[in-house]
Copies of this chain bind each other. A is one copy, B any other.
Amino acid sequence: MARSRQLNERMREERKEQILSSALHLFATKGLFATKIKDIAKAVGMAQGLVYHYYESKDEIYVELIKNALEKLNTAVFSLRDMPQPPHEKIIMAIEQLFKTIESSHDFTQTCRLIAHATNSTAIPEDARKLIVEKRDIPYREIAKIMADGQKEGTIVEADPDELAVVFWTSINGLAIYKATRQDTTTVPDAGILARMFLKEGNHGTKSKTFPG
């Protein structure tokens, strides 16, 4: 009967989600090679062999996670692009949002950490490598466009938009890793400090909610 087939399907998906979730945490903190299938199984609470009932290999789990992470990131970037605000407000919003997320979302910093591991190591599965090379430039391109628009508008600092984008993302990235590796007492700096790099004087009101209209 279709009913129970669907239910089984659903339960299988849930189980796979559990594995992914545990694996994300472990890959993010320990990296691909230091994480053993046994660790993942233990974290989920299943026998080591059972993992292979859901995934063919450790690499498959890893590639799946990398794919999810890149998609999540790029979706966020595109939604930023499609917002109605003027460029300099987008930049402010993006920085504030990213800082807030770094501060509060464990899942997000884990994801950043996963990607950091992946981009920083050449010893990752071929499929993962391909995905990363394919997708990693998208956020840079989109931010560069916003920077260029802001320059036309006169609100963004005069400098090569591509370079601004590189500084934008590398700074965010560095900060996310910093936060991820010192969960404890650490607090994230004020977003205004970063914003100052990109905005011309007179547009620094990162805290002001007084948008026109």
Interface size class of A (residues with CB under 8 A): 35 or more
Q: Are A116 and B120 in contact (CB under 8 A)?
A: yes
Q: A33 to chain B: which residues have CB within 8 Å?
A: 31-34
A-to-B contact residues, CB < 8 Å? 29-35, 113, 116-117, 119-123, 157, 159-160, 163-164, 166-167, 169-175, 177-178, 180-181, 189-190, 192-194, 196-197, 201
- Beyond the given pairs A120-B177, A167-B175, 14 more chain A to chain B contacts, judged by CB atoms under 8 angstroms and listed by A's residue number, are A33-B33, A157-B193, A159-B190, A159-B193, A160-B190, A163-B190, A164-B193, A166-B175, A166-B189, A167-B171, A167-B194, A169-B174, A173-B174, A194-B197
Q: A169 to chain B: which residues have CB within 8 Å?
A: 174, 178
Q: Are A121 and B34 in contact (CB under 8 A)?
A: yes
**Number of this chain's copies in the complex:** 2
Q: Assuming the A-B contacts A116-B116, A193-B159, A194-B197, are A123 and B30 also in contact, with contact meaning beta carbons closer than 8 angstroms in the complex?
A: yes
A interface SS class: helix
